[in-house]
Amino acid sequence: MTRRTPLAAIGLGLSVVLLLLWSLFPLYYAVLTSMESGSGIFRIRWWPEAIELGNYRALFATGAFGRSILNSVLVAVLV
């Protein structure tokens, strides 16, 4: 087994960090835009000016969300 040089270890670490940021940014942006108002989703920011939870209230108030999650879980498990 060969030892990594310090430069190779730094390169590997930097690659892992960049890959992690690349893969987590869409999830972060989806959560961020879910907390925006209707017109706020078109402005790109790192953090919303005001957190709007009305979107989540509307999601759970309709009652169809739980059924949709159940259907997705069943398809994921059975297929």
pLDDT of residue 1: 60
pLDDT of residue 37: 76
Distance CA 65, CA 79 (A): 21
Cα torsion for 5, 8, 10, 13, to the nearest 10°? -130
Q: Which residues of 59-73 are buried (b: 16+ CB within 10 A; e: fewer)?
A: eeeeeeeeeeeeeee
Burial classification of residue 16, based on how many CB atoms lie within 10 Å of its CB (0-12 exposed, 13-18 middle, 19 or more buried):
exposed
pLDDT of residue 75: 96
* Series of mean pLDDT values for 10-residue runs along the chain (79 residues): 81 95 93 80 75 84 85 94
Domain extents for the chain?
A: 6-78
pLDDT of residue 21: 95
